[in-house]
Structure 1
Amino acid sequence: MRTLIVDDEHLARALLREYLTAHPDVEIVGECANGFEAVKAIAEHAPDLVFLDIQMPRLDGFEVVELAGSKPHYVFATAYDQFALRAFEVHAVDYLLKPFSRERLAQALAQVRLRAPQPDGIAAVVKDAQARRQPLERVLIRDGARVHVVAANGIDYIEAQDDYVRICAGGKAYLKHQRLSELEAQLDGAMFVRIHRSFIVNVGAVERIEPVSKDNHCAVLKGGVKLPISRSGYQKMRTLLA
């Protein structure tokens, strides 16, 4: 198995490399210290397996998977179990909680060889993680070879466009291949509101709500943009802005 190690801590990479020497079918093709290096290395080396830390500078482990794609098998390794739920949502083969033993690593490799998630122990970790799940702090948009990183709190509104969303932030617009409902589930519900089947708005970007007709309203943003509001969206906005 062509294997890539991704971790921002040198000692963590060294320890994993040492543990992997006991497995002759594992060939380490590279090591990376941050997410951008990892995305580039996955494209260059086409590894079969990636051991991936979650909390790293520049890009976190989930953002690496989003940009690099799901062709490799991923085993996440982290000191924080609150990320477990999302790890399995992106189809990780296993989830190693640091510090892990040689035996636990061997179990993960066995699951990779079988190409199936490890069922034992997952339920308890996921149940605990569900209560701690955090909303997105930033959104990644791939634009050809470039990657735009947009802070979630800087987004003014998001518009559905078929299988894409149009993300408007700071006077700029970005297209991202994702369903509006998927992105809605990842955002902070105290900050973002689905005001219409095609629009999500940042409550902080709304200057006022105006009537359009007897039963219709629109949200006027601080930059002057007007967005339609459905009846259910109007009730949500009234509750949040009360």
Structure 2
Amino acid sequence: MTTPTALIADDEPHLVRHLQQQLAQLWPELHIVATARNGLEAAQAIATHAPDLAFLDIRMPGLTGLEVAQGVEGRTRVVFVTAYDEFAVQAFDQAALDYLLKPVTAERLGRCVQRLRAAVQAAPDEPDARLAQTLRRLLPAAAAAQPAPARLRWIRASAGEVTHQVGVDEVVCFQADDKYTCVHTASGREHLIRTPITELAAQLDPDQFWQVHRATLVNLAFLDSTRRDEASRLWLRLRGLAQELPVSRAYVHLFKAM
């Protein structure tokens, strides 16, 4: 039997240490492969280490725990950690998802560990479906709390002394890569901008641009076909783009009606 692995993400280092110490006592064989202080670090560490468990604080800089959970692939099971998100806690209760309320007590963590021990040995299909359904409820509610920005019509991309004006209708997809977001256009050109995917998604027409991955937004006008591989993972083929794009499990439901 392989050693179970986990990641802990929280922007308060002392809370990370506290959870590490409690887990070491309650689940000695659990190996913490990484810790993160913001959502971007958490997403990168999950992609790198593919841990069995990811303890995600809901309120983090960069990306929230909910947004990080959107991009989780494979068998990683998410445990949300929160101090005051009452609506989120109600949703987690109804979906029977794992969550911890701050301050995390040994008694509450002990009950959670009992469930997690069994869960890391089980097939992920059922909890994954519940997670996707819950995120679909929570993320629009979180977005609705913010004022709606004006829709983007143009993307400004600077290259040296030249600034390119790219119409959003010409964009095939946006892909985040480290510090930049790559803008792929129908003409085959690529531009780099610093606007993060989450900010772009909030400003683009949601009927035209769909987020299909934590790091990817696609223009449905260029969608050519979809494909499922041997592992049942969904891939997209876009006109004007050479490579196929993967769809995270939290977004697969968007394509069921197509």
Question: Which range, TM-score by smaller chain?
Answer: 0.5 to 0.7
RCO (CA 8 Å, sep 6+): is it higher in 1 or 2?
2
Distance 2:198 2:19 in 1: 30
Q: Find the partner of 2:207 among 143, 147, 158.
A: 158
| Equivalent residue runs for 1:123-162 within 5 Å | 133-135=141-143, 143=175, 145=177, 148-150=197-199, 154-156=203-205, 158-159=207-208
Distance 2:44 2:9 in 1: 12
Partner of 1:123: none
Structure 1: gaps of 5 or more residues: 118-125, 169-174, 183-197, 199-242
Distance 1:59 1:36 in 2: 6
| Equivalent residue runs for 1:35-184 within 5 Å | 35-69=39-73, 71-80=75-84, 81-85=86-90, 87=92, 93-115=97-119, 133-135=141-143, 143=175, 145=177, 148-150=197-199, 154-156=203-205, 158-159=207-208, 166=219, 178=251
Note the alpha carbon deviations across 1:91-119, whole angstroms, 9 max, x for none. Answer: 774111111210110111111112189xx
Distance 1:74 1:87 in 2: 11
Change (3 A) 1:60 1:160: closer
Distance 1:45 1:153 in 2: 29
1:9 Cα deviation after fit = 0.6
Larger Rg: 1
Change (3 A) 1:143 1:160: closer
Q: Residue 64 of structure 1: SS of its match in structure 2?
A: helix
Change (3 A) 1:95 1:70: farther
Alpha-carbon RMSD across the aligned residues, in angstroms, is 4.2
Pairs aligned (count): 163
Same amino acid, percent of matched pairs: 34
Q: Find the partner of 1:29 among 26, 30, 33.
A: 33
Distance 2:109 2:174 in 1: 33
Q: Give runs of ≥4 in structure 1 deviating > 3 Å.
A: 85-89, 133-138, 144-147, 163-168, 175-182
TM-score (structure 1 length as normaliser): 0.53
1:18 Cα deviation after fit = 1.2
Change (3 A) 1:88 1:46: farther
1:28 Cα deviation after fit = 1.1
TM-score (structure 2 length as normaliser): 0.50
Distance 1:50 1:24 in 2: 17
For residue 110 of structure 1, what is the amino acid of its counterpart? Q
Equivalent residues of 1:36, 1:59 under 8 A apart: yes
Equivalent residues of 2:46, 2:72 under 8 A apart: yes
